[in-house]
């Protein structure tokens, strides 16, 4: 693990955007495209605002969702709503390059199957992404890999449905796909995340986030989230 600590959420977002920019340029130069999966929530908004106006090779960037809630298109609780607003409406990402999880389908098992096919069509079989951006919940979840949910045990599918969490069922990328990514980028801000981040640093696999591979991982955190870390976080 590589650690990059910044004083506040804005600085953390700026650093994460720099990492994404560099990864995009490198992937396009090496492989002709940049395949990236982005998480939702409020934490990455500053990162995405910093990224959107950059002169990136946007036509060669394919963006997937790490997870989303089962809610209508355009709903404020949909992660897709904010990705669209920040990268398509306010940025230069072609709309067809943002690959939405089909959360309008009533059958989430079918939605998971369709999204897995989308990933395979662009990222190979099995799909390998250049970078996956992850957040960290105060309860130790990442993506929608939720404590005590059966989705944690999925080992033979790249996309799966969860049970109800905070009022919504969800689709999520699973451990097999996440752990195949070339780079994992964590962005963690806020004092409430500090205990979970300390457990992640210590390699505690008792929380869902602890089962994400550590090699090839970069953790960007603000001072509040890092307040319980040792002076030199373990690699």
pLDDT tens, per residue, the chain with 235 residues: 999 999 999 999 999 999 999 999 999 999 999 999 999 889 999 999 999 999 999 999 999 999 999 998 989 999 999 999 999 999 999 999 999 999 999 999 999 999 999 999 999 999 999 999 999 999 999 999 999 999 999 999 999 999 998 888 999 999 999 999 999 999 999 999 999 999 999 999 999 999 999 999 999 999 999 999 987 666 5
Burial of 133 from C-beta contacts in 10 A (0-12 / 13-18 / 19+): buried
Q: What is this structure's pTM?
A: 0.95
The string of DSSP letters for 141-199 reads: -BTTB-TT-GGGG--S-SEEE---BTTB-EEEE-HHHHTTSSEEEEEE-SGGGHHHHHH
Q: Which domains does the chain have, with CATH numbers?
A: 2-222 (3.40.50.1360)
Half-sphere exposure of 23 (CA within 13 A, CB side): 26
Sign of CA dihedral 68, 71, 77, 83: positive
């Amino acid at each position: 693990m590589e650690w990059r600590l910044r004083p506040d959420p804005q600085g953390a977002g700026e650093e994460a955007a720099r990492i994404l920019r560099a990864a995009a340029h490198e992937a396009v130069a090496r492989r002709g495209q940049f395949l990236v999966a982005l998480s939702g929530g409020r934490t990455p908004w500053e990162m995405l605002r910093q990224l959107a106006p950059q002169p990136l090779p946007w036509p060669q960037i394919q963006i997937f969702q790490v997870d989303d809630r089962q809610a209508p298109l355009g709903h404020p609780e949909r992660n897709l709503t904010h990705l669209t607003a920040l990268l398509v409406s306010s940025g230069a990402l072609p709309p067809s390059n943002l690959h939405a999880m089909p959360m309008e389908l009533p059958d989430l098992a079918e939605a998971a199957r369709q999204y897995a096919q989308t990933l395979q069509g662009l990222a190979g079989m099995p799909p390998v992404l250049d970078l996956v951006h992850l957040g960290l919940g105060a309860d130790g979840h990442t993506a929608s890999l939720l404590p005590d949910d059966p989705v944690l045990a999925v080992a033979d599918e790249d996309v799966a449905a969860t049970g109800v969490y905070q009022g919504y069922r969800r689709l999520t990328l699973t451990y097999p796909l996440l752990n195949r990514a070339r780079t994992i980028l964590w962005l963690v801000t806020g004092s409430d995340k500090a205990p979970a981040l300390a457990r992640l640093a210590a390699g505690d696999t008792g929380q869902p986030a602890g089962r994400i591979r550590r090699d090839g991982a970069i953790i960007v955190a603000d001072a509040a989230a890092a307040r319980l870390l040792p002076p030199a976080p373990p690699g």
